[in-house]
Amino acid sequence: MAVSFKTLDLNLLKVFDAVMEERSVLRASQRVALSQSAVSHSLARLREMLEDDLFVRTATGMQPTARALTMAPQVREALRSLEAAVEQPRFVPAASTRRFTLAANDFTTMVLASPLLKILKAEAPAIDLIIKPVTRIDLAEQIDLGRIDVAIGVFSDPPSRFRTSLLFEYDDVLIVGGKRKLGRITNATLARMPLVVVSFGGEQEGAIGGFISERGLARRSEMYDRAALERALSESDRPPRIAVSLPHFLALPALLADSELAAIVPRPLARAFERAHAVTAYELPYATTPVEVRLLWHERIEGEPAHDWLHDVLRRTTEDLRHRR
């Protein structure tokens, strides 16, 4: 009788494996949660299909035939593979040696890196991180290909294949070199200041309305609220002067030192600069639209324990930022 795998009931192989291991119909029935008669019936079906007794009842239990001994290792490995395929894989952070790849700009890296590394040291000391720049790469393509596990940034209406989660919100403030002592900033005062701003991509690089779009994913490139600034100074006798536009944030403290320049930056970054550099932050004379910094990942890794854990760690990393304005 020819055996076709297409018509084979896999439950018969589970019964076979249980009897092979237990060498008892009774214990095998308990193992697979079936009655003894159901196990016996399954063995009879498998014997008929394979044209072999498979097991012989003896005084010491069910003894496998040569055919059963040959089949057993392959059947067990196949069942284990199927189990691994359908069951949720376990992830133990403390024992894991995984490497995760994140995409982030220098602002989010600066405010997140230290608390993130503290959590990893305590919970997953052998996990490694690669942080790639969120700029100068085709971010959507890299996530689609699985080369980036999660991106951190400001995104506008991501395509349905991506999932997002809020990390924190921020607004803009003004920073100047620490030696300068300014009073309350007014629109008139601001209009006379040469400003430094950060933009990750200009109009010539495809930026529209402060966002760059690639493969349907639009990420913020203009890292200040240009529209709010222009509205605030619309009645001034001079438009805002953007004296310097940078592709990154980390050069700002050096540019502001001993100069008349002022920079518009995210509030969390201003706090970080004040702690580490001779920089002073001031409130802007106008309100800026709150900006949401979010995690973004591909839908195919939704629900995977390792990635769920990473997303939870990143949310815990930014808990303080969510409760401060």
Q: Are 141 and 215 contained in the same domain?
A: no
Q: Are 145 and 223 contained in the same domain?
A: no
- Give the DSSP H/E element, type plus range, for residue 72: helix 66-86
How many domains, in total, are found in the chain?
3
Q: Are 156 and 302 contained in the same domain?
A: yes
Looking at residue 113, its pLDDT comes to 92
Looking at residue 83, its pLDDT comes to 77
d(C-alpha 303, C-alpha 313), whole Å: 15
d(C-alpha 172, C-alpha 232), whole Å: 14
Query: Could you tell me the pTM of the whole model?
Result: 0.73
d(C-alpha 283, C-alpha 184), whole Å: 8
CB 103, CB 155: distance < 8 Å: no
Q: Can you read off the two tokens belonging to residue 67? A: 């055919």
Q: Are 249 and 302 contained in the same domain?
A: no
Q: Are 130 and 28 contained in the same domain?
A: no
Segments forming the whole domain that contains residue 112:
95-166+295-322
Looking at residue 7, its pLDDT comes to 62
Helices (H) and strands (E) in the chain, counts: 12, 16
Q: Are 265 and 310 contained in the same domain?
A: no
CB 217, CB 155: distance < 8 Å: yes
Direct distance between the N- and C-terminal alpha carbons of the chain, in angstroms, rounded to an integer = 76
d(C-alpha 139, C-alpha 132), whole Å: 10
Q: Are 110 and 76 contained in the same domain?
A: no
- Give the DSSP H/E element, type plus range, for residue 110: helix 106-123
Q: Are 144 and 110 contained in the same domain?
A: yes
pLDDT (tens, 9 = 90+) of the chain, 325 residues, equals: 455 566 678 888 899 898 888 888 888 898 888 899 998 999 999 888 888 899 999 888 889 999 999 988 898 888 888 877 776 668 899 999 999 999 999 999 999 999 999 999 999 999 999 999 887 678 999 999 899 999 999 999 899 999 999 999 999 999 999 888 888 999 999 999 999 999 986 544 556 677 888 888 988 889 999 999 999 998 887 788 999 999 999 999 999 998 999 999 999 999 999 999 999 999 999 999 999 999 999 999 998 999 999 999 999 999 988 876 5
Q: In what order do the strands lie in the sheet with 162-170?
A: 128-133, 99-104, 150-153, 291-298, 162-170
CATH value at residue 71: 1.10.10.10
pLDDT, tens digit (0-9, with 9 covering 90-100), for 281-316: 999 999 999 999 999 999 999 989 999 999 999 999
- Which of 86, 118, 140 is where one domain is finished? 86
What residues have CB less than 8 Å from 4, skipping those under 6 apart?
none
Q: Are 136 and 275 contained in the same domain?
A: no
What residue type is 28 in one-letter code?
A
Q: Are 156 and 190 contained in the same domain?
A: no
Q: Can you read off the two tokens belonging to residue 61? A: 């239990």
